[in-house]
Amino acid sequence: MIYGVFSDIHGNYEALKAVLDFFRKNEVKSFICCGDLVGYGPQSSECVREVMRLKSARVVLGNHDAALTGRLEMRWFNTNAVASLEFARKTMSGAELAWLADLPETLETADFTMFHGSPRKPLTEYMLSEAMFSENLSYWRVSPCFVGHSHLPVYFRQSEGEPPETDFLLPMAKVRLDGLRYVLNPGSVGQPRDGNPRASCGLYDSGRKTFEVFRMDYDAAKTQDLMKAAGLPQVLIERLAFGL
């Protein structure tokens, strides 16, 4: 089965539309979403509503989703993030908030495992090093494990008799999942932080055991204009142009 893998939409509806259009063109019918649909961007309501419409979508809770719905304290967030979450809350319907609040923090299927941050601390820990990958191995079973949170398209791998390794996932560079354990991050749809401002997502082929990252252009200027009109922090507006 081919899965469309995406994460960290962060209220960027223009970026989400570009990613979903890519999935449709590739006839993707099943989806893996690693959370953080809301915050930062101007259209959290539209993003949640769009993901709610997806059939055969597996979605886990992100830390911004959790804060917006009262499942995580705001003390984890800086002032810019808090301002964007307060704006998002004002725009969302009761049904959207209820759906978001009901998302699980972890999810395991026969083909993969899902978390937002890490298996050990699903909402708050960033998976950033081989050491952290090793420390998390006992907290999940089914490989590959998909995560988000860092906004970086990367992989971590553990092969028999070899030390753990990690590297960035470059666009259209197919990874063959021939190691024993993999953690895969598709990068961010709505706020990339790897120096590439284009929306990031991935395709996972559970039959062939391959994963590939793709990047797509979207109307970032429109998202920025909407952010300005909403009075969102300037730093959040500017960073979309640089992928930082």
- 235, part of any domain: no
Sheet arrangement for strand 165-168: 107-108, 113-114, 145-146, 181-186, 153-158, 165-168
- 176, part of any domain: yes
Number of structural domains (the chain) is 1
Strand segments, DSSP code E, in the chain are 2-6, 30-33, 57-59, 107-108, 113-114, 145-146, 153-158, 165-168, 175-176, 181-186, 199-205, 210-216
Q: Which two tokens stand for residue 137?
A: 């191995």
| Predicted pLDDT of residue 160 | 82
CATH number at residue 170: 3.60.21.10
- 226, part of any domain: no
- 75, part of any domain: yes
- 145, part of any domain: yes
- 229, part of any domain: no
| Average pLDDT rounded to a whole number, residues 127-139 | 95
- 127, part of any domain: yes
| Predicted pLDDT of residue 180 | 85
- 152, part of any domain: yes
State pLDDT tens for residues 64-95: 999 999 999 988 899 999 999 999 999 999 99
Domain holding 12, by residue range, is: 2-218
| Predicted pLDDT of residue 102 | 97
The upper half-sphere exposure of residue 98, i.e. CA atoms within 13 Å in the direction of its Cβ, equals 3
State pLDDT tens for residues 186-206: 999 999 999 999 999 999 999
